[in-house]
Amino acid sequence: MNIDLGAPPAPQTQARTHKLWGGRFGAGPTPEFDALNNSIGVDFRLWPYDIRLSQAWAVALWGAGVLTLEESKAIETGLETVAVRLQGGEQPQASDEDVHTLIDRLLHEEIGDVASKLHTGRSRNDQVSTAARLWTIDVCQQLDSALRGLQRTMLEQASGLEAALMPSYTHLQRAIPVSAAHWLLSHFWPLERDRARLRAAHRSAAVLPLGSGAVAGCAYPISRILIQGTLGFDALSPNSIDAVSDRDFIAEVLFAATMIGTHLSRLAEDLIIYGSSEFGFVQFGEGYTSGSSMMPQKRNPDALELARGSAARMLGNLTTLLATLKGLPSSYNKDLQDDKRVLFDATDTLLLVLPAVSGALAECTFRPERMRAALSSSMMATDLADYLVRKGATFREAHGAVGRLVRESESTGQEMQTLPFSSFTAAHPRFSEDVYEALSAERSVTHREVEGGTGPTAVRAQLEAAQAALAPPPTPRSTNTIP
């Protein structure tokens, strides 16, 4: 039996029929070189963007007087037909070096020799960067909407949890009671910052390199500004040497992706801990969990664990790119071909993980009774100290007195609210009978109405702010249309 272990494809031995280079070479490249050098397996997906930029380039060449109108139109419609073929499922041949070569070959098949004029004045160096930037702009938008989907799920769950009180933790030790909505929203805002990072990465990507040629700029009087407008870029790259090697936009997307991965990982980790029998704050659903092949009772939060694990890959992708960039000499070097592997891996992974985390969260059932059972009166120790401060003690003095009470409750195995009043007065003379009210979790929460705190009004305001953050932005008024 033959089992495909996914080994790299055997080097192609067949004769290559189409190349964008080769005149100065006597012998052709070896199959081993082709197997290493060909990037079609990775960059094929850039074809819609390469078609678009090539159409814009054909028009620019006509504008520069390089192509006649007929030639430019023939190339434009030829590219349209190539797009239809690719859309219809046409696959590259193993001998196609990369997506640019593939499209060039198909264009030749469609319109013959005039196709050879399209590559005038441009290089794959400015071409691949332009295509990758167009792709990145789209993926930033897709990631944004996937993030918003998860944020919406968080809001839906959070609005049912406003009144549910649970322990907050620092050092994973019980700290102070909080509203469960407050806890869940603590995972909303990091994603909001991630969206801002994606917008910044989008802005970095929206700088047009086309017209930079291989490194020194195009030698024909093409209008870059026209290409910018046609392709929807925000600006022109100001230096051709920089333009062909600038991959900052990919590094920025990868950093944003790594932060998203990190944030999802932390959310997943909280949910996994809270879903354990020991905590029991959360019950997982059935759509995003799996069973065990051995232990019939198990329901494992696999989607969340995979989300947590995938953050490591994002980080690996980011460091791979940065390590590649740091040692490169000026301008384009072939090392840069691998930028797309990491870009695609990180964004593909996130586009799988984000909906899964959103689904897993949506089907979680929160259990307020288990949360409440985890609240103990020692968690109101800070409130007790604040009580003494309000009665005129200094905070340090109050901290010491409450510490003694905590020790007493620990050593006698009693909750603080069951300690006799005499214990309180022994700890500090400013305690009076109303001290027992200060030991209620509700009281503790309602005292924290500061902006960003866990008080009910503050949490309500936070929920409203979160809703507002997700409201669609007002549609910008077009400058081209007359009102």
Rounded to a whole number of angstroms, the minimum distance from the CB of residue 375 to ligand ARG is 57
Q: Which amino acid does the sequence have at 179? A: S
Rounded to a whole number of angstroms, the minimum distance from the CB of residue 37 to ligand ARG is 8
The DSSP letter of residue 333 is -
Name the residue nearer to ligand ARG (CB basis): 43 or 104: 43
Here the tokens at position 265 are 């990982």
Rounded to a whole number of angstroms, the minimum distance from the CB of residue 469 to ligand ARG is 37
Restricted to residues 21-40, the positions that interact with ligand ARG (CB under 6 A) are 39
Containing 46, the helix (H) or strand (E) segment is: none
Between 92 and 111, how does the x/- string for binding to ligand ARG read (CB under 6 A)? ------x-------------
Rounded to a whole number of angstroms, the minimum distance from the CB of residue 374 to ligand ARG is 54
Look at residues 357, 347, 346, 352 and name the one whose alpha carbon lies nearest to residue 314. 346
Name the residue nearer to ligand ARG (CB basis): 105 or 124: 124
At residue 363, φ and ψ (nearest 5 deg) are: -95, 10
Kindly report the CA angle at 257 between 256 and 262, in degrees rounded to 5? 100
Confirm or reject binding of residue 386 to ligand ARG (CB under 6 A): no
Query: How far out from the chain centre does Cα 212 lie?
Result: 30
Rounded to a whole number of angstroms, the minimum distance from the CB of residue 209 to ligand ARG is 12
At residue 280, φ and ψ (nearest 5 deg) are: 70, 20
Determine whether 292 is an active site residue. yes
The DSSP letter of residue 365 is E
Residue 178, SS3?
Answer: strand
Rounded to a whole number of angstroms, the minimum distance from the CB of residue 17 to ligand ARG is 18
Quickly tell me which residue has 């969260």 as its tokens.
361
Q: Which amino acid does the sequence have at 48? A: P
Residue range at the interface with ligand ARG (CB under 6 A); choices 124-132, 157-165, 300-308, 433-441:
124-132
Neighbours of 81 (CB within 10 A): 14
Name the residue nearer to ligand ARG (CB basis): 50 or 270: 50
Look at residues 381, 383, 388 and name the one whose alpha carbon lies nearest to residue 431. 388
Residue range at the interface with ligand ARG (CB under 6 A); choices 27-35, 121-129, 360-368, 394-402:
121-129
Confirm or reject binding of residue 128 to ligand ARG (CB under 6 A): yes
Sequence-distant (6+) residues with CB within 8 A of 395 are 385, 389
Determine whether 409 is an active site residue. no
Name the residue nearer to ligand ARG (CB basis): 249 or 284: 249
Name the residue nearer to ligand ARG (CB basis): 243 or 416: 243
Residue range at the interface with ligand ARG (CB under 6 A); choices 8-16, 123-131, 154-162, 368-376:
123-131
Q: How far apart are CA 409 and CA 416, in angstroms?
A: 6
Q: How far apart are CA 248 and CA 202, in angstroms?
A: 11
Name the residue nearer to ligand ARG (CB basis): 265 or 337: 337
β pairing state of 235-236 and 207-208:
parallel
Q: Which amino acid does the sequence have at 446? A: T
Kindly name the residue from 116, 145, 292, 432 that is annotated as catalytic: 292
Between 312 and 351, how does the x/- string for binding to ligand ARG read (CB under 6 A)? --------------------x---xx--------------
The footprint of ligand ARG (CB under 6 A) covers: 39, 43, 98, 124-125, 128, 332, 336-337
User: Which residues have a catalytic role annotated?
Assistant: 171, 292
